[in-house]
Amino acid sequence: MILSNHRRSFIAFGTGGLVLAALAVWMLIAGTASAATLCVNPGGTGGCSSSIQAAVAAASAGDTINVAAGTYTEVGQIVISKNLTIVGAGAGSTIIKTSVDTGNTGDPRGWFLVNSGVNFNLSKVKLDGTGHLVWQGIRDHGTGTISDCSITNIKFNESGPDYAGTGVVVFGSSVNVTNCTFSGIGRVGVLFFGTGVTGSTFSNNTYTGKGAGNWLDYGVEVGAGANATISGNTISGDTGVATVDGSTSAGILVTTFFGAGTAATITGNNITGNTDGIVVGFDASDTSAVQAHLNNITGNPDAGVVSTAPLVNATCNWWGAANGPGPVGPGSGDKGSTNVTFTPWLIAPAPAGPCTGPTPVPTPTPAPTPTPNPTFCAGCPVGGFVDVLSTGSGSGGSVGLSMIALLAMLAAITAVSGSGIYAFLRRRS
């Protein structure tokens, strides 16, 4: 009876389930069929839009927008509120500019604003903020990939009072920035910010700082509880100093100043020519967690890796010298600080350099101690003792000759009898 009731219930549910499944399949097919590819070109010809803004407005969720080579000056903030993919003709060919300044607080800071829950992919374009104040090139609350792009001249009063300008700021759980170049950035290339960032990456990018001047540069910053992986990048030229308070630049900055839980894995990067290579922490209360391995950390004059408090695992890095880092280390390479574990280190540049530093110094085998020759007269010239015996000098007058005879007899008896001195003296007594 129970089985029967259960079976009837299953059959009733299954009938309805089949209807729902069929409806779901139809919706999936309809949704897939509705995904379209839109186009943008400078003249708006051939059924294409003439601006990216217009194409974004016309697109449906899941669509792809192909942007032809050309320069597009867009008006206002570009809001991405649905899943979209925008693909250019190449970072050197498809150039996107803005005609207005961005805001300086909240979401209006973003030139491109990606809403929460949205998957947005952008590739093969250049974002150029020249001529306008741009706080953030892309402000991303969603997920997706930004790849093969050039992001340049994103600045907002970079020499004060704001010292601002960020290429991409990531708030979403998984945003991957890869194969992009960053130059002329007001302050930070990519900022991973907040506990919502759990699986984002910054990989195979090139960040070139502005060099010396009244400004700041950080290729990557991870903070406020974000977790990010930084790998395969080249980060250089971050040497500016903010004259307002003496703040200095660094290739990578990781800190819990804005919130606990910040963590970063830093591997396979070339970090060179910055004031500091990697800075972990803001003050003595910082608790950031950082692993840094297989990086080439060279030519960073203040420090290769410095920590204000957290223990940093920085083993197996190339510090620019086979004898490792200094001054807390024994070598002449880039400096490390206290709270940085650097042993073992690479004894040649990554990725080929073996992680065997410090190379043990072999303990030399001590030379055998020679057996000293008997010395009869330590203070006499050579032959002095023989002279004394041969001349018979000393008390008794004949002591010299008797001693010679005594020694000769002793040697003869020892050789023959093997009884040594004991036998000789016994017979004498």
Structure tokens at 247: 């703040």
User: According to the model, what pLDDT value does residue 239 have?
Assistant: 98
Burial degree of 183 (CB within 10 A; 0-12, 13-18, 19+) = middle
Q: Which of 188, 184, 181, 182 is nearest to 166 (CA)?
A: 188
pLDDT string in tens for the chain (429-residue length):
332 333 222 223 344 444 334 444 444 444 445 789 999 999 999 999 999 999 999 999 999 999 999 999 999 999 999 999 999 999 999 999 999 999 999 999 999 999 999 999 999 999 999 999 999 999 999 999 999 999 999 999 999 999 999 999 999 999 999 999 999 999 999 999 999 999 999 999 999 999 999 999 999 999 999 999 999 999 999 999 999 999 999 999 999 999 999 999 999 999 999 999 999 999 999 999 999 999 999 999 999 999 999 999 999 999 999 999 999 999 999 999 999 999 999 999 999 999 999 855 455 566 666 644 443 333 333 333 223 333 333 333 333 434 444 344 444 433 433 433 223 222 223
Determine the straight-line distance between the first and last CA of the chain, rounded to whole angstroms. 127
Contact by Cβ (8 Å): 180, 146 = yes
pLDDT of residue 19: 38
Q: Where are the beta strands (DSSP E) in 283-354?
A: 289-293, 296-298, 303-307, 312-313, 326-327, 335-336, 340-341
Tokens, residue 77: 């903030």
What's the pTM value of the predicted model, to 2 decimals?
Answer: 0.78
Among candidate residues 109, 106, 105, 175, the one with its CA nearest the CA of residue 140: 175
Buried b vs exposed e over 29-39: b needs ≥16 C-beta within 10 Å? Answer: eeeeeeeeebb
